[in-house]
Amino acid sequence: ACSEFSRSSCEECLQNVSCLWCSTNKTCVDYPVRSFLPPASLCSLSRARWGACWMNFEALIIAIAVVAGLLLVSAAAFCCYCCYCRR
């Protein structure tokens, strides 16, 4: 269980991918898999760590959204180039 790693370190907690580290109270909790984002009652997004200790959950979501947006814009630009500019 993830609670065994509470009061230890973030690195030890996140060795298990099903764990979420909250740096506010230095607790390791099970990631709430039923919801996409962990609820604020569990830990605020800016203080939650999942996957990597150096990046908070809020920054992780923003980074994923930016990369996904760039991929969509690139794909749309490529499709427009192939369909309209190559005629």
Give residue 8's pLDDT: 85
| Total of domains in the chain | 1
Q: Which domain holds residue 80?
A: 2-85
Cα(first)–Cα(last) distance of the chain, in Å? 60
Contact criterion met (CB below 8 Å) for 35 and 54: no
CA distance 17 to 42: 17
Give the pLDDT band (50/70/90) at residue 86.
Answer: low
Q: What is the pLDDT of residues 31-70, one digit of tens each?
A: 888 888 888 888 888 999 988 899 888 898 899 999 999 9
Does the pLDDT at position 85 exceed 80?
no
> DSSP H helical segments within 1-87, as ranges?
10-13, 57-80
Give residue 87's pLDDT: 62
